[in-house]
Amino acid sequence: MQLEAALPVGADPRRHARALAEVREAALAGTTLPGRPRAVIGASWQRMRRLGLDPDRGSPTPPLAPEQLEARRRDSGLATVLPALRGGLIGLAEQAAHIMVVVDADGRVLWRDGSTAVRRRADGLGFVEGADWHEPATGTNAIGTALVARHPVQVYSAEHYVSNQHDWTCAAAPLHDPRNGRLLGAVDLSGPASTVHPSTLALVDAVAKLAEAHLRTTHLSDLERLRGLATPLLAKVKGRAVITDPHGWIAASAGLVPVGRIALPNDAAPGRTWLPTYGDCLLEPLPGGWLVRLTEEEDAPPTRVVLDLRSSRESTLRVSGAAGTWSHRLSPRHAEMLYVLALHRAGRSASELSLDLFGDAGRTVTVRAEMSRMRRHFGGFLLARPYRFDDDVEVVVERPADGEVLPHSVAPAVRG
């Protein structure tokens, strides 16, 4: 997607800040706006108003205790990319009067570094290690809003919903685990509003991509080591089988056309289970992965599919049938597509899905590629021509409680 800087090209920063303040005041008062906020900011302000967030103070929570912070750092999956993030951003942060901040998927500040003077200013704001910087606590800001929007965001001056942040500018990019698409957190550059620069967002986005590339390289190395174990082991296995890493990426296969990845259940455990790709299977643990044996019994098709959209952070698919219940975390894009298909049981063509998801009927190549990936995972109940759920499968959508909204990841064109 195209990056959108907070400061329009050629705009005077001070004059633009005053205009933003007028727009925010009108929005809070419910009067006619003298202008309109950017779409990503306007959507965030609406979320804050629905939450009833105090526009002067937010809803601050105490920072994590030191031992809690250390536990979060260990569990975040971000410690290994911290050198890449620091190498790409710390030099600029110190020269340009900024701080670099890394948060986990819950918006908790894990690490903070950069300009000493700006760190002192951040201390007075409560912008410290262990603080909660997600939207429900601190309102519209680059970190929290990027975690919700799942794309890089720059926020300037009165675009911040909470007034004590109006003297700041920030640019943040989300960080994802390339093994499973899971949101790990975000990296951010923040500083005084007077230091705003449109190129900051592009830099943060580039460094975030470098960090994700490092994770991808590490994953490929781990998969290659597993492949060295898998090849001789599979030679001794009778029947059809595959060996995967913990995330379902296949290291080797025997008697099957290989695919890149299979969708393992969230709570994978040794024993019998049903997998959408292969049907009835047996899972056996291996160092660094699983041996998946296909049984020779006739596959029992799934009878019920539940699309769980109740969490704003993560969507889940649960599949039930004679072989038991299986659940899998969904990427935001796959959650969108399945939600559309749940609304349209008769099915959608590639152009119709493209219009639903992007507001543009012409992005059929992207739609077909994503549907191909999903059907490799969930082929037991997803059909093509048109794309739809199998007629024999009961489909249930679990939505947020009354008064709440669907997760941001669900396509705006189909929200109801």
The ranges assigned to domains in the chain are: 13-217, 237-294, 304-414
The pLDDT, as a whole number, for residue 414 is 47
What end-to-end distance do the CA atoms of the chain give, in Å? 25
Q: What is the mean pLDDT of residues 27-32?
A: 85
Q: 112 and 99 in contact (C-beta within 8 Å)?
A: yes
Q: What is the mean pLDDT of residues 250-258?
A: 86
**403 pLDDT band (50/70/90 cuts)?**
very low
Q: Please say whether the structural domain 13-217 has been given the CATH code 3.30.450.40.
A: yes
Mean pLDDT within 21-41 = 88
- Of the given ranges (35-39, 184-188, 193-197), which has the lowest mean pLDDT? 35-39
What average pLDDT is seen over the chain? 89
Residues 303 and 395: their CA atoms lie apart, in Å, by 9
| CA-closest candidate to residue 398, choices 331, 304, 333, 325 | 304
pLDDT of residue 299: 59
Sequential DSSP letters for 131-188: -B-SHHHH-S-HHHHHHHHTS-EEEEGGGSSSGGGTTEEEEEEEEE-TTT--EEEEEE
From CA 172, how far away is CA 161, in angstroms rounded?
A: 16
For range 248-267, the mean pLDDT: 86
**Which range, of 72-81, 150-159, 376-385, averages the lowest pLDDT?**
376-385
What distance in Å separates the CA atoms of residue 168 and residue 156, rounded to the nearest whole number? Answer: 7
pLDDT score for 413: 45
Q: What is the pLDDT of residue 407?
A: 54
What's the pLDDT band for 410 if we cut at 50, 70, 90?
Answer: low
CA distances from 108 to 102, 156, 327 (A): 8, 21, 27
The pTM score is: 0.81
- Check pLDDT > 50 for residue 295: yes
Residue with tokens 């601050």: 60
pLDDT of residue 75: 94
Give the model confidence (pLDDT) of 322-376 as tens digits.
666 788 888 888 898 999 999 999 999 999 999 998 888 999 999 999 998 888 7
**What tokens were used for 178?**
């390339």
